[in-house]
Amino acid sequence: MGQMNRRTVRDLRRGNRSTLLRQLYFRGPVSRQELGTLTGLSSGSVSNVVGELLADELVEEAGSVESDGGRPRTLLRVAPGGGHLIGVDVGETHVRVELFDLSLTELARWEHPLTPGGLERDPEPVVGHILTGLDAVVDKSGASPDAVIGVGVGVPGVVEQGDEILVHGPTAGRDAVPLERLLRTGTDLPLFIDNGATAQGQAEMWFGAGRGADNAVIALIGSGVGAAIVTAGVPYRGATSSAGEWGHTVVQVGGRACRCGAVGCLEAYVGAQAVLDRYGHGARGAGAGGADGAGGADGAGEGGLDGVGEDQQAAFAAIVGAAGSEARAREVLEEAAAYLGAGIADLINLFNPERIILGGWAGLLLGGRVLPRIRAATASYALRRPYAQTEIGLAELGPDAVALGAATLPLAHFLATGGSR
Ligand SMILES: [Zn+2]
């Protein structure tokens, strides 16, 4: 009985720490009085917990404001230097590692190119790059490794959060990668692994276009196509965390081949490579570029790609740039906008979001050019009422927010546990 009471008291204290730390993080600088109003905690509880957080150097004073007739009120905020967070973006074409302070200001960055599909084809070198990058950003920033709260890793594909974290890449026929176990061979830092789109979606919800919304879908288009679905403020994951594979929903029965092994997937119509292939076909004549479809199922990176990484982005940007003057470019983008509208209409009909946030490097380029066409196509496929209640806009954190998103994974844990390491 006594033991149970002690545990309850401890849980309560930890819960209060977490509640106050979250308010200080997202609403700060705020005064003790405002914290009481925001959380419903008594002034005594606020003072005690704030005292602990100040002593732990997780919170600091940030000036003061006049109060009505009383003493000036001291403002408090989470101390940016209270710890460091590392975000790792394992993309199709690069590994990028970034180290941030607690306010998510970037302090150091490291990057290494990858061939597409590298993580699932041959994970060891990718793991080696990640480990090298972790050391590099800690060195560069001058941070103490002890000050690193955790490492978030955003990867393409499905991340199964079981007893062992497994990464299932999007390509058909590959084995799952035990990424956490592989990384453990070279680091003791706390690891948090999730799908890159889910991580980036969390960053948009906290700091970008999703702020203030509880129900949103962050639709990300790059080399691959994915989505982060947030319902009632929480990411929607499904039974084994594979939810959100929007790129592999079917928009055309019997349609173009997709690298996942199926045909007719949205990714094979609006993914960056699909758009490039489509444009190349028209320019070179039908059949000149190999199979109609999403750029070389299994062979991605070994041929069949018009360009990878920066080349792919430059080629895609050139098509978008040419759409003002060139009929073929315009035609290809309008086709992509039509399929994208169908895909977004499905999201609206299934999830009834307040907002659809279009992002990813190709999504931002496409949206910047043909957002009105995308909206019009969506309107023609979605149920009228939920469509009218959904805003469709662009992501705000830029095209490269996966590492930032990955850093929110350890940050979420840090806030949820009241700042415990
Ligand atoms: Zn597919």
Distance (Å) from CA 265 to ligand 1 centroid: 5
Q: For every one of its 421 residues, what pLDDT tens digit does the chain have, with 9 covering 90 and above?
A: 456 677 788 888 889 999 999 999 999 899 999 999 999 999 999 999 999 999 999 999 999 888 777 788 999 999 999 999 999 999 878 899 999 999 999 999 999 998 777 787 889 999 999 999 999 999 999 989 999 999 999 998 889 988 899 998 877 667 789 999 999 999 999 999 999 999 999 999 999 999 999 999 999 999 889 999 999 988 998 988 889 999 999 999 999 999 889 999 999 999 999 999 999 865 543 333 333 333 333 333 333 333 456 788 899 999 999 999 999 999 999 999 999 999 999 999 999 999 999 999 999 999 999 999 999 999 999 999 999 999 999 999 998 899 999 999 999 999 999 998 7
Q: CATH number for 215-394: choose from 3.30.420.40, 3.30.70.100, 3.40.50.10490, 3.40.640.10.
A: 3.30.420.40
How far away, in angstroms, is 127 Cα from ligand 1 center? 26
With beta carbons less than 8 A apart as the criterion, state whether 395 and 401 touch.
yes
Cα(247) to centroid(ligand 1), Å: 6
Please list, in sequence order, all residues whose beta carbon lies within 8 angstroms of the beta carbon of residue 39, skipping any fewer than 6 positions away: 19, 20, 23, 46
Closest among 417, 241, 365, 310 to 96, alpha carbons compared? 310
Identify the bridge partners of residue 358 per DSSP, sorted by sequence position.
Answer: 219, 394
Q: Which residues contact 338 (CB under 8 A, 6 or more apart)?
A: 373, 377
259 alpha carbon – ligand 1 mean position (Å): 6
Q: How far apart are CA 288 and CA 280, in angstroms?
A: 8
- Cα of 250 vs centre of ligand 1, distance in Å, is 8
Instruction: List the alpha helices (DSSP H) in 285-401.
Output: 310-322, 327-351, 361-381, 384-388
DSSP-derived secondary structure for 10-76: HHHHHHHHHHHHHHHHHH-SEEHHHHHHHH---HHHHHHHHHHHHHTTSEEEEEEE--SSSPPEEEE
CA of 346 to the centre of ligand 1 (A): 16
- Quote the ligand 1 centre to 158 CA distance (angstroms): 13
Alpha carbon of 294 to ligand 1 centroid (Å): 9
Ligand 1 centroid distance, CA of 254 (Å): 12
Cα(122) to centroid(ligand 1), Å: 21
Using CA atoms, how far residue 326 sits from 213, 329, 333, in Å, is 39, 6, 11
Residues 147, 21, 16: CA angle, nearest 5 degrees: 120
Same fold for the domain at 83-203+402-416 and the one at 215-394?
Answer: yes
Q: In this structure, which topology does domain 83-203+402-416 adopt according to CATH?
A: Nucleotidyltransferase; domain 5 (3.30.420)
Sign of the four-CA dihedral 24, 399, 167, 122: negative
User: Which has the closest alpha carbon to 292: 274, 309, 308?
Assistant: 274
Half-sphere exposure of 200 (CA within 13 A, CB side): 35
Distance 87 CA to ligand 1 centre (A): 27
Return residues with CB closer than 5 A to ligand 1 (ion): 248, 258, 260, 262, 265
Q: CA angle at residue 223 from 218 to 227, to 5 degrees?
A: 20
Between the CA of 86 and the centroid of ligand 1 the distance, in Å, is 31
CA of 321 relative to ligand 1 center, distance in Å: 28
Stated pTM of the model: 0.86
Q: Judge contact between 14 and 418, C-beta under 8 A.
A: yes
CATH class of the domain comprising 14-78: mainly alpha
**Residues sharing a CB contact under 8 Å with residue 64, sequence separation 6 or more, in sequence order:** 72, 73, 74, 75
How far does residue 298's CA lie from ligand 1's centre (Å)? 12
The amino acid that residue 137 corresponds to is V
DSSP 420: -
CA of 137 to the centre of ligand 1 (A): 35
Q: Where are the domains of the chain?
A: 14-78, 83-203+402-416, 215-394
Q: How far is the CA of 42 from the centre of ligand 1 (A)?
A: 53
